[in-house]
Amino acid sequence: MRQLCILALTLLLSACAASSDQRAKAFYEWYTAGLALPDRGMFFASPALAPWVSSSTLNRLQKAYNSPEINALSADYFTCSQDVSEEWQHYVRVSAPWSAPGGQAVSVALDAPEEPAMKVSLTVYLLSEKGEWKINRVTEGSTEQWLPE
């Protein structure tokens, strides 16, 4: 009976946890809203990303951002873009997840119907860290920005 209760509780808690695609969608809605603020209130190495980004990736992003010896990233790490569309926050589309080494991956489309040239298509890799899906890698096509170790 005790084992049955533990199993039921485990299943209930796992059902409450956000799936990788839900986490990716919530992240991109939140992140692109921050990018669209007049003062660009969000940036790719912000400590505010800790709930969303794996600790190893966030450490590497902060190292790249803070090191005078390392060239700054050529584009925003999470959007693979130098420019920002205010429309993105309203048009985030995320695919169903699929298995990837170390976790799961999803396709993320940031659309901008009024600015067709601003559409971005990404592959976002997530891993489970302390029971939450967190972004570990972002690519655009076969391109991935280099991060220091």
Distance CA 100, CA 1 (A): 36
Distance CA 31, CA 49 (A): 9
Which pLDDT value is given to residue 17? 64
pTM confidence score: 0.83
- Tens-digit pLDDT profile for residues 46-101: 889 999 999 999 999 988 888 776 666 778 899 999 888 999 999 999 999 999 99
Exposed / middle / buried, residue 25 (Cβ in 10 Å: 0-12, 13-18, 19+):
middle
104, amino acid identity: Q
114, amino acid identity: E
Kindly state the average pLDDT of the residues 126-143: 93
Domains of the chain, residue spans: 18-139
Segments of 15-142 assigned E as strands = 92-94, 98-100, 103-110, 120-129, 132-139
Among 4-13, 67-76, 122-131, the range of highest mean pLDDT: 122-131
As assigned by CATH, the class of the 18-139 domain is: alpha beta
